[in-house]
Amino acid sequence: MNYAEVFKRFESLNVIIIGDVMIDSYWWGKVDRISPEAPVPVCTVTKKEHRLGGAANVALNIVAMGANPIVCSVIGNDAEGKLLTELFASNQMSVEGIVASKNRCTTVKTRIIGNNSQMLRIDEERNDSLSENDQIVLIEKVKQIIDSKKIDALIFQDYDKGVITPSVIEKITSMAKNKSIPVCVDPKKRNFSEYKNADLFKPNLKELKEGLKIDNILPQKDSLKSAADILHSTMGIGKVFITLSEYGVFIADYQSQTPNVHLLDAQLRKIADVSGAGDTVISVAALCMALGIPTDELAKISNMSGGLVCESVGVVPIDKTRLLSELQRYE
């Protein structure tokens, strides 16, 4: 496969991402004393940084691969929401799909890092489902975008924070199907069984076990194929793509004429941090789905992308040039 040509074709793609967006905040400082008020360390903050997180990290990966993301989500009508929209703008990303609601707060995850070690994480969030009115507004936003633009793929990036609901899934999936837009899903526990007729469904092994309520699924081809068969028969999933950490990835394609099942080993790498690897994998897989890349190649490219980001500390988007270079070594 000519990977350089494939990567060039990615640049013409528009991808809608629906899910929970958030701010990842980092407060760095020095710790050299214990508080006189309680037996806790005092962190003197020297630097603060705010980054896009959650479903917005998927968008950063789409940008890194040269394509155009359109994030559709609901945030709070608050100061943090304003900061989030500024972060989108600073990353040259549209906010046309963002809904600011007075009923929600903007999710912020703040890490306190003293002497280069994380001491505490503070989460500001709501994880109850969107109000009926907010769901209607979000669905209408997505409809306007799908009706007015060429959309090549759609991703549901679910973090169980309430933006994605059964109604949102059903109505938006139906819209996408009517326009022949491939629907790709990175699920979480709450809505796991709601993604009927998704074209690509990408749980990790833990999410698969929780979602199917089967504890004895093993990272082996036959065991994974049995689990994938259940997803296909009960939910109508087209491609089941299971990430297996150090065991690689598994994919079963039910959209092909003949059985198309692959188990790819993980490549040996020096793993620094697995944070955000799933975001990278679903991003690259969705771009491959948009171009109709063969199933085995989709799994190979996505698997390699997830491995590469694990070599960096923290949540970082994929390095497109490095990914292309690695793929070309195996052409």
- Which one from 32, 229, 279, 296 is the annotated catalytic residue? 279
Torsion of CA 186, 189, 193, 194, to 10 degrees: -70
Q: Are 65 and 287 in contact (CB under 8 A)?
A: yes
Residue 118 β-bridge partners: 113
The two structure tokens encoding residue 4: 């350089």
Pairing of strands 68-76, 41-54: unpaired
Helix (H) or strand (E) holding 18: strand 14-19
CB 58 within 8 A of CB 70: no
- What burial class does residue 44 get, using C-beta atoms within 10 Å of its C-beta: 0-12 exposed, 13-18 middle, 19+ buried? exposed
How long is the chain? 331
Decide if 279 is catalytic.
yes
| 31 beta partners | 43
How many Å apart are CA 313 and CA 180, to the nearest integer? 38
Residues designated as active site: 279
